[in-house]
Structure 1
């Protein structure tokens, strides 16, 4: 998928990135929907969601989870090519990013793909949110102008385009 922006940059988003984000979202969502008997040993976030779903029904009305990660690739001139992505550990309640995890993932990717750089980050949802700025600012020491890739996991049969939006940082 390639598209242009108002800044004159051309973005090339490889399918692997979309698959990775979708997989990340699907895994987190399925973990949150496990029956309470199976989640007693799960993380605190999962058990908190189970407490909210104490009616035992299949139709929990919780908002869909948001997942976060980095997108990596290269920029050659006015073309930005996003090749891959990896998950990040982010706690929205404390607005903290696990920096040691991020640094370890960067180090591992640099060994295999020495020319790839962290271009920005991704999340899932229907729209960018005010709270996303905390995550965005947390990555600005790695990339002073990070991209934001937003994947909308909601299925809309009428929509013909992929539900992906790439936001550029304002200068």
Structure 2
């Protein structure tokens, strides 16, 4: 039997099996209380990150208040939940952050402010947990891996969302990353790198209603829906052009030896080009012509119908205007007759009054 000794010495008592189990349970409970538990379960890296509109508005507001018209960036905390590999970012808050632009390894993030704000947000909505952090980048920087290590104290797999707050092209403003461990080629060391995660923008029904209400003051009601669709098509094509130019630049750098080749990127490029249709097939060319002619035929018929309706409205307007003019002329004529009759009656009455003795 094990012996328990009093702190001040003295008599020793034998410890039974039940007492040892009780002590072990108490020790485990104390360890749980003292050890900071992560706010999310230890799952794998999320496969998709969904950013909600409120988060985008908060990030833009944070940047405009702190780092507008400067070369600095802002960093904040992302709140949300992760379920079945999908990370929903529903809220966020800003954190005091600063870094040395000449020495990227020197940076500062206020831990006390972060913990106090998180405790207050937790009182408002206990379901929202820390899922990562955001940055206005616009690219990944050297200190991001160190910041990621800091946020691993609060969640198992923090995500990094980079938001481009001043993008000239209307493309998706967010890019999501997650850190993973990778073994170097020599197999002697393990390093952490950022892995790209699929990023989208989503909203609940209530958020969609709020966004539509805000867009009423932004969208021009005088612009037709067709013009808006054409604008969106042009924006999408400009975004596609930029992506193709980026792929071209990467391949040129690989061929010149300035960038080491990444087999996964090259494999993805090959997959994209394999999905392109073969435009040299006669059947495909004919089907494209038929489809184009059908679309043009519908547009032509729509134009004829609109022109016919406009002509009918013009004719009806002319007829209505002519009738109103005739009616107004007749009313004026009747008024003149009534005025003439009243003046004649008045003159006759005046004459009778003069003749009377």
TM-score greater than 0.5 by the shorter chain = yes
1:103–1:67: structure 2 CA closer, same or farther, 3 Å change rule? Answer: same
| Cα pair 2:67 2:74 within 8 Å, conserved | no
Q: Which residue of 2 aligns with 1:103?
A: 115
Alignment of 1:20-99 (within 5 A): 20-30=58-68, 64-93=71-100, 94-99=106-111
1:73-98, Cα deviation, whole Å (9 max, x unpaired): 01112221000110011232442321
Q: Which residue of 2 aligns with 1:125?
A: 137
Q: Which residue of 1 aligns with 2:148?
A: 136
Q: Give the CA RMSD over aligned residues.
A: 1.8
How far apart in 1 are the matches of 2:149 and 2:125? Answer: 25
Q: Which residue of 1 aligns with 2:160?
A: 148
3-state SS of paired residue (1:17): helix
Q: Which residue of 2 aligns with 1:19?
A: 57
What is the count of residue pairs matched by the alignment?
Answer: 132
Provide structure 1 residue ranges, at least 5 long, that are not aligned to the other structure.
Answer: 1-6, 34-62
**Segment drifting more, 86-95 vs 15-24:** 86-95
Q: Return the offset for 1:27.
A: 0.8
Q: Which residue of 2 aligns with 1:41?
A: none
Under a length normalisation based on structure 2, what TM-score does the superposition of the two structures give?
Answer: 0.35
* Pair member with larger Rg: 2
Q: Which residue of 1 aligns with 2:179?
A: 169
**Segment drifting more, 17-26 vs 88-97:** 88-97
Question: Would you tell me which structure has more strand in proportion to its own residues?
Answer: 1
| Cα pair 2:78 2:134 within 8 Å, conserved | yes
Question: Would you tell me which structure has more helix in proportion to its own residues?
Answer: 2
Q: Return the offset for 1:8.
A: 6.8
How far apart in 2 are the matches of 1:75 and 1:110? Answer: 16
| Cα pair 1:124 1:153 within 8 Å, conserved | yes
| Cα pair 2:51 2:89 within 8 Å, conserved | yes
Provide structure 2 residue ranges, at least 5 long, that are not aligned to the other structure.
Answer: 1-44, 101-105, 182-357
Q: Return the offset for 1:99.
A: 1.1
**Segment drifting more, 129-138 vs 10-19:** 129-138
How far apart in 2 are the matches of 1:66 and 1:96? Answer: 13
Under a length normalisation based on structure 1, what TM-score does the superposition of the two structures give?
Answer: 0.70
